[in-house]
Amino acid sequence: MSNPSMMAEFDIYKNNLLDWNNRINLTAITDDEGIRYKHFEDSLSLLPFLPNTPFSMIDVGTGAGFPGIPIKIVRPDAKVTLLDSLRKRIYFLEDTIKKLELTDINCIHARAEDLQKDINHANSYDIVTARAVARLDKLCKWCLPFVKPGGLFLAMKGPTVEEEINESKEIIRKLKGEVEGVEYVEIMPGVVHSVVVVCYNGEGCLQ
């Protein structure tokens, strides 16, 4: 976030988040440091896994827009879809996008289970993300059907995820996915999160 223009955008995002948080429950983290590291920096920990060229991405269960909006700010070449099942959050997301004057980003009010049946979205995205939504086995059922062949599902989890991976192996295999690896990221001193990288079709994944 060293670019002054991007820093200004993150400030707008933060202020709008706090404003809306007074009306609807978006986040329990309201201090500047917490928002910066536990929301913004955490979202941007996905950057090393993204293609160097323009890509499409859907953020499933995006909530207050994490990680989708921070990634869009830093990677304006990305075409981003924010998916959430709660209408109030969609209103917040649309207002934030308008204030940030972002383009090629849209919000969809729907459940993942329903949208994945839509031919315009099934197997249509280079990157699918989900952050702190559910256990990995459920996430894979919701998210892998959106991934293009050769694309990636990036599941943002806590510091201990090995048990969830073991529980999810069978469903991942049935959904033609393969766990490529797990990366651990220290988003702030003493706070470690993990990124589970799942490739759809098991080979030819994005580099």
Q: Indicate the SS3 state at residue 82.
A: strand
| More reliable by pLDDT, 207 or 62 | 62
Residues 6+ apart with CB under 8 A from 23: none
Nearest residue to 179 (alpha-carbon basis) of 165, 193, 158: 165
| More reliable by pLDDT, 80 or 201 | 80
Q: What is the mean pLDDT of residues 85-114?
A: 97
Q: What is the mean pLDDT of residues 48-58?
A: 97
CB atoms within 10 A of CB 174: 11
| More reliable by pLDDT, 109 or 189 | 109
Instruction: Give the start-to-end residue ranges of the domains of the chain.
Output: 4-200
Q: What is the mean pLDDT of residues 82-86?
A: 97
pLDDT tens per residue across span 166-175: 999 999 999 9
CB 153 within 8 A of CB 177: yes
Given the candidates 3.40.50.300, 3.40.50.150, 3.30.390.50, 3.40.640.10, the CATH classification of the domain at 4-200 is: 3.40.50.150
Query: What percent of the chain clears pLDDT 70, i.e. is strictly above it?
Result: 96
Confidence (pTM): 0.93
Residue 139 host element (H or E): helix 136-143
pLDDT tens per residue across span 119-169: 999 999 999 999 977 899 999 999 999 999 999 999 999 888 999 999 999
Give the pLDDT score at 83.
Answer: 98
Give the pLDDT score at 207.
Answer: 46
Distance CA 68, CA 70 (A): 6
Give the pLDDT score at 175.
Answer: 93
Residues 6+ apart with CB under 8 A from 75: 47, 50
